[in-house]
Structure 1
Amino acid sequence: MFDLTITGGTVVDGTGADRYRADIGISGGRITEIRRRGGDDPGLTEVPAAQTIDATGRFVTPGFVDVHTHFDGQVSWDDTLEPSSLHGVTTVVSGNCGVGFAPVRPGSEQWLIELMEGVEDIPGSALAEGIDWQWESFPQYLDAIEKRHLAVDYGTQIAHGAVRGYAMGERGANNEEATAEDIAVMSRIVQEAIEAGALGFSTSRTEAHRAMDGQAVPGTYAAEAELFGLGAAMAAGGQAVFEVAPQGTAGESPEQACMHEMDWMARLSAEIDRPVSFTLIEAAHAPDLWRRQLDRAGKAHDDGIALYAQFAARPFGMLFGFPGYHAFTHRPSYRALAARHQGAELVARLADPAVKAAILADQDLPPQPVPLFDSLFAMIQHSVDRIYAIGDPPDYEPTPDRTIAAIAARRGEDPLATMYDMMLESDGGAMLMLPFFNYAAGDHSSIYEMMTHPAAVSGLSDAGAHCGLICDASYPTFLLTHWARDRHRGPKFSLEYVVRKQTMDTATLFGLSDRGVIALGKKADLNVVDMTALTLGVPRMVHDLPAGGRRLVQGASGYDATVVSGVVTRRHGADTGDRPGRLIRGVR
């Protein structure tokens, strides 16, 4: 008798192989039988099972593996790990971009919170109220998470920022150069973390990553001696990944800096014989640089070096509207209203023509030097030719006629007035899209090339982070709907290819060989998907974090079921309440 059978579905197994119709039998959290169906074959429909899912007319895929999330704090209070679990994700990897919450010296918790808040735009008040701090060392952090029962499996990396702050104190926080003794202390911490089960080590080198006080993330300017020392310690601890948010050496041009980064990352990977994974985006100021980076990664692969780019599946930027950041946050008239009214009452006031006229006529208050997000209003005001109406259902490859500037021209009005009115739509909850990266050509041509490259893996969802700006935890659903079904402005991919990019490929990068494909003996992490009905919802702002913190969420419809370790965790979009998800410890 099986614990669960999934019958009548079309299997897309995660390897990229052609789909086939089959029944799947699950026992003890593993796939124990796959019976192909043909003709009048009843398959497993007549075999006893404690529970059966009829997947006739549906696709059955492996559960999705998201390797770039920031649930480091949320995991200690939220057992659903939404929004990832809303989109067929069954495994998340956290601890990216050099920020995390372990190790932590007693008394420095607030410093780590402000570092995470500044870099990842997670409300500090939510982190302060939600995290229980049952640890000091990284192994103790893993032990605390291991007690949690979750809707998805959770793995994490040890972050350079936390390590530097713990080992070097204020010198580490202030990005002073590490001595040989400092590197030895940090190396012991990193090796201990990997031996305890961390899946990797992460560092940030981009100057855009700053704490609430404006300080760059500890490790941003680390010398090669430090990076290579910590890489060697990671490799000594086990089979882990060295993850980098790259930038480069101060004083270099962007092109020189990035290619300098590519050089040392390739040398590090070759020296320690472990994968090095770096974030990859297309920037308008250097539109061909990403291609040069990919070519360098491809050359490394040809030489047997595991250098991997993490790409974003759609334009990388920000969503904004009245519920979050927007162009009018520094107008005195708006601030006075927002201080007195909230929710529907605030929207009603904003819809008053006299109020609109007053806000549009106001002069902006000056931004503060920190935090970084305080100056976004000015960027938005000067980007009307790059801001798009996202639509319902959302369109992440909009044409130029959908920019605010184009719509305003057709209406014969000021673009900021048009922007104001469009943000008032959907009862004041409408969001507009400003793509910073991956949209230099005004379409997805660069992303298409990234997706086809053998040295590129799907990443950068930043699930759990950028709560007021970004809602990219929905990447898995977007890959299925846009890239395998709906795209009309260029070529698409097969469903088999798209599934592989977020299952076998991402699982393999982190050595998670027990998942990511549908095969006998593999972990029973699965999705049952109605591809005809699969739809992305409109991003919306909610205030459901601890201390009433805000975040953008984006739902989906069309997932009949999500299964983790043989247990159904979601049915038709609803959480079942079952919590089979556990901490993943890496291979020692």
Structure 2
Amino acid sequence: PIYAQCGTGRAGFAFTLEHWNLYDASPAWRAVTTGSKEEKIAKMQDPELRQSLVEEAEEADRRLQVIQAGVGGNPKSLVVQGVNRQSDLQKYVGKSVGDIAEAEGKHHIEVMLDLSLQGDLNVEFLGPDKGSNADFMAEMMNTSPYAIPGVSDGGAHTKFFTGGAYTTDFLTWLVRDEAVVTLEEAHYRLSNLPAHAAGFRDRGTLSEGAAADVLVYDMEELDILPNWIGDVEYDLPGGEWRRVQRAAGYQQIIVNGQITFENGECTGSTPGKLLRHGRA
């Protein structure tokens, strides 16, 4: 069978134009957002390139529209989240690009470019969460035998969002707060079904003979910290940074019978092993 990975996580993309590359289906955006920081600034000031971006925004093909929808929708809906501590830009924080454009008589693409240039490409935009329809998510989880909750990109977009929070979000949002998915169904969808889809028969359930992989948590204490965007940590090779979210409420994580995390603290134990499809 074909299994569907369902986007049950609530997370918006946060980005600056210094690092953004998810509009690459647009030749104009791809041109503007490649190169060194200095080259990007020069391109964003170029009248011809700016006009190309405006024209593409008005005549976006289907592929670009789909990509934009996946990362927050039309750029008009982006919200200014951070302005690099510049007092003259503080008035824009919390406002959408579309609202700013209307108030200032500009095209919304010009607003994105101008704000970014004024903030030395460090003005941060936040895309709206597109997955907060609890009833729709519940229908997928409760009716389809092939729907697996998610989605994480495995760390492919570390500067834009933290996809790994979807498990905690699923439990706190759809199970605890909205009560539209039962706890038993959630455990099945998050554990047994993914193992089955990957061809593993000796894990994913708490049963005799199965691998001793156990998660112990307090449902009332479960939380994602910080809740939406994530902290920034400079812990990647070369001093690069990524967005990080942590979870609260998990008392023990046990892998192959050994405790790897206890009350949120890593024990240093690494008992996990690489699994190949259908072979545990």
Same fold at TM > 0.5: yes
Offset at residue 581 of structure 1 (A): 0.8
Q: 1:457 to 1:547 in 2, by over 3 A?
A: same
User: 1:433 is matched with which residue?
Assistant: 127
Output the CA distance in 2 between the equivalents of 1:429 and 1:525. Answer: 43
> Given that residues 330 and 364 in structure 1 are in contact (C-alpha distance below 8 angstroms), is that contact kept between their aligned partners in structure 2?
no
Shift of 1:502: 0.6
**Partner Cα distance (1:454, 1:322) in 2:** 40
Match of 1:478 in 2: 169
Deviation at 1:544, TM superposition (A): 2.3
SS of residue in 2 equivalent to 1:532? helix
1:430 Cα deviation (Å)? 6.0
Q: What do the CA deviations read for 1:455-508 (whole angstroms, capped 9, x no partner)?
A: 222344122222333421211111112211234xxx621222222211011111
Contact kept, 8 Å, 1:463 with 1:471, in 2: the verdict is: no
Looking at structure 1, the residues matched to 13 and 98 of structure 2 have their Cα atoms a distance apart, in angstroms, of: 19
Instruction: Say whether residues 1:562 and 2:256 are aligned partners.
Output: no
Structure 2: distance between partners of 1:530 and 1:431: 34
Rate the CA distance shift 1:384–1:307 in 2: closer, same or farther, 3 A.
closer
Contact 2:13 2:72 in 1 (8 A): no
Rate the CA distance shift 1:521–1:542 in 2: closer, same or farther, 3 A. same
d(CA) in 1 for partners of 2:231, 2:19: 10
**Residue 123 of structure 2 corresponds to residue 448 of structure 1:** no
Which of 449-458 and 538-547 deviates more?
538-547
C-alpha distance 324-505 of structure 1, shift in aligned 2 (>3 A): same
The share of aligned pairs that are identical, in percent, is 27
Q: Which deviations, in whole Å up to 9, do the C-alpha atoms of 1:107-139 show, x marking residues without a partner?
A: xxxxxxxxxxxxxxxxxxxxxxxxxxxxxxxxx
1:507 to 192, 195, 202: 195
1:575 corresponds to: 266
**Distance change (3 Å), C-alpha of 1:448 and 1:366:** farther
Alpha-carbon spacing, 1:381–1:311, altered in 2? closer, same or farther (3 Å): closer
**Aligned match of 1:138:** none
Whole-angstrom CA distance in 2 between matches of 1:537 and 1:451:
25
* Deviation digits for residues 172-197 of structure 1 (CA, Å, limit 9, x no counterpart): xxxxxxxxxxxxxxxxxxxxxxxxxx
Equivalent position of 1:186 in the other structure: none
How far 1:560 moved relative to its partner? 1.9
After TM superposition, list the pairs within 5 Å mapping 1:45-124 onto structure 2.
none
Q: Which runs of 5+ in 2 are unaligned?
A: 24-28, 51-63, 82-93
Matched to 1:450, the amino acid is: M
Deviates more, 1:515-524 or 1:573-582: 515-524
Alignment partner, residue 404 of structure 1: 96
Check whether the contact 2:150–2:167 (CA below 8 A) recurs between aligned residues.
no
Q: 1:585 to 1:337 in 2, by over 3 A?
A: closer
Larger radius of gyration: 1
> What CA distance in whole angstroms lies between the structure 2 residues aligned with 1:561 and 1:465?
27
Distance 1:563 1:389, change over 3 A: farther
How many corresponding residue pairs?
Answer: 226
Shift of the 543–431 alpha-carbon distance from structure 1 to 2, 3 Å rule, reads farther
Partner of 2:149: 458
Distance in structure 1 (CA, Å) of the matches to 2:72 and 2:175: 35
CA distance in 1, matches of 2:80, 2:183: 28
Q: Matched residues in 2 for 1:363 and 1:431: separation?
A: 22
8 Å CA contact 1:388, 1:403 repeated in 2:
yes
Match of 1:524 among 212, 237, 241: 212
Please list every run of 5 or more consecutive structure 1 residues that lacks an aligned counterpart in the other structure.
1-305, 340-358, 368-374, 391-401
Three-state SS of the structure 2 residue aligned to 1:502 is helix
> What is the CA RMSD across the aligned residues, in angstroms?
4.4
| Post-superposition CA distance 1:480-539 (Å, at most 9, x none) | 12211234xxx6212222222110111111222222112233222112212222221242
Return the offset for 1:364: 6.7
Q: Partner of 1:386 in structure 2?
A: 77
Deviates more, 1:562-571 or 1:449-458: 449-458
State the AA in 1 paired with 2:274: L
The question of whether the paired residues in 1 share the 8 Å contact of 2:18 and 2:40 is answered with no
Distance 1:449 1:408 in 2: 37
CA displacement 1:120-179 (0-9 Å, x = unmatched): xxxxxxxxxxxxxxxxxxxxxxxxxxxxxxxxxxxxxxxxxxxxxxxxxxxxxxxxxxxx
Residue aligning to 1:543: 234
Q: Please report how far the alpha carbon of residue 558 of structure 1 lies from its aligned counterpart in structure 2 after TM superposition.
A: 1.9
Which residue, out of 6, 9, 22, partners 1:314? 9
The aligned counterpart of 1:494 is 182
**Counterpart residue type for residue 246 of structure 2:** G
